[in-house]
Amino acid sequence: MFEALVEIVFPARCAGCSRLGDALCDRCVPSAPEIDVALPTLTVKAVGEYEGALRSAILALKSGRRDVAAALAVRIARLVEAGVLIVPVPTTLVRRRMRGFDGGVLLARIVARTAGAQVLEALVHASNDMQRGRGRRERLAARGRFACDSDALAGARVILLDDVVTTGATLEDCAACLRDRGAIVERAVVAAAARPNGREPPEREPLRK
Task: Name the H helices within the chain.
Answer: 2-9, 52-62, 66-76, 93-99, 103-115, 136-141, 169-180
Each residue's pLDDT tens digit, 28-55: 888 778 999 999 999 999 999 999 999 9
The pLDDT tens digits for 151-205 are 889 999 999 999 999 999 999 999 999 999 999 999 999 999 998 765 556 543 3
Residue length of the chain: 209
Topology annotation, domain 34-193: Rossmann fold (3.40.50)
For the segment 7-30, what is each residue's pLDDT rounded down to a tens digit?
Answer: 433 578 899 998 898 899 998 888
CB within 8 Å of 24: residues ≥ 6 apart: 14, 15, 16, 53, 57, 68, 71, 72, 75
- Cα–Cα distance between 161 and 2 in angstroms, integer? 30
Q: Are 165 and 189 in contact (CB under 8 A)?
A: no
Could you tell me the pTM of the whole model? 0.83
Gap between the Cα atoms of 19 and 35, Å rounded: 26
